[in-house]
Amino acid sequence: MESKLIRLTVNGREEAVVADPLATLQDVLRDSLELTAVKSGCGQGGCGSCSVLVDGELRLSCLTLAERVEGAEITTLEGLNETNAIVPLQQAFVENYAAQCGYCTAGMVMAAKALLDRNPAPSRDEIVEGLSGNLCRCTGFAPIVRAVEQAARALSGEEAS
């Protein structure tokens, strides 16, 4: 099949890549743009490790055709901070030992960001629901939930000050 020029806005930058018309956003982000925080756990929508934000909404890049998000704002973990320093949400993951092998972590952080952007003060149950599409197979979910709780507290503290 003929390749196609696909124009994407990723982490605030205009990108143009030549790809198969049925290339997934995951393939384009990882292979063409080398944004490897986007992981490839299952390719089936089941693990959440490929989670990105499209116009601020959580999406699975493995089930999104790159061609269909032309014109949208795509954010990967790399785009959370332009200087590549870790942001408070990531710091909360570090402090709560919420990553062991780290394979799920970028997806978890993106799911947590999508949740906190909509709901800065989630209950524990809302955090569990917000992360429910993301699987961790080694750390366990308790430290991850604690990290998001801490990030939420930090966020509301920041807003108060």
Partner 1 sequence: MPELLRPGSVDEAAGLIGSHGAAAAVLAGGTSLLREIWPSDAGYLIAVDGLGLDRVEARDGGWSIGAAVPLRALREAVPIPALQAATREIGGPAVQNMATVGGNLFARAPFGDLAPALLALGADLVFASADGEATQPIDAFYAAWSDGAPPRAGLLIRIELDEPAGASAYLKCARRRYSTPSVVTVAACVETDGGTVSAARVALSGASAAPFRCGAAERAVIGSALDDAAMAAAAAAAEAAVTPATDPVATDWYRRRMAGVFVRRVLAQLA
Amino acid identity at 136: C
* Least distance from partner 1 to the Cβ atom of residue 81, Å: 22
The one among 35, 48, 67, 74 contacting ligand FES by CB under 6 A: 48
CA 15 to chain centre: 19
Count Cα atoms within 13 angstroms, Cβ side, for 95: 14
Return the CA Rg of the chain: 16
Residues 25, 20, 64: CA angle, nearest 5 degrees: 25
Q: Does 45 bind ligand FAD (CB under 6 A)?
A: yes
In the complex with partner 1, the residue whose CB is nearer, 41 or 133, is: 133
CB-based contact 11:78 (threshold 8 Å):
yes
Amino acid identity at 20: D
Q: Return the one option of partner 1, ligand FAD, ligand FES, none that residue 59 interacts with (CB less than 5 to 8 A, by type).
A: partner 1
Q: Which residue intervals of 8-122 are DSSP H helices?
A: 25-27, 88-95, 105-118
Segment lying near partner 1 (by CB under 8 A), choices 28-36, 52-60, 87-95, 98-106 = 52-60
Amino acid identity at 10: V
Candidates 17, 29, 32, 34; CA nearest to 54 is 29
Q: Return the one option of ligand FAD, ligand FES, partner 1, none that residue 143 interacts with (CB less than 5 to 8 A, by type).
A: none
Q: Return the one option of partner 1, ligand FES, ligand FAD, none that residue 92 interacts with (CB less than 5 to 8 A, by type).
A: none
* Least distance from ligand FES to the Cβ atom of residue 157, Å: 27
Q: State the number of binding residues for ligand FAD (CB under 6 A).
A: 2
Binding site for partner 1 (CB under 8 A): 1, 20-22, 24, 44-45, 48, 51, 57-60, 62-65, 67-68, 111, 114-115, 128-134
Binding site for ligand FAD (CB under 6 A): 45-46
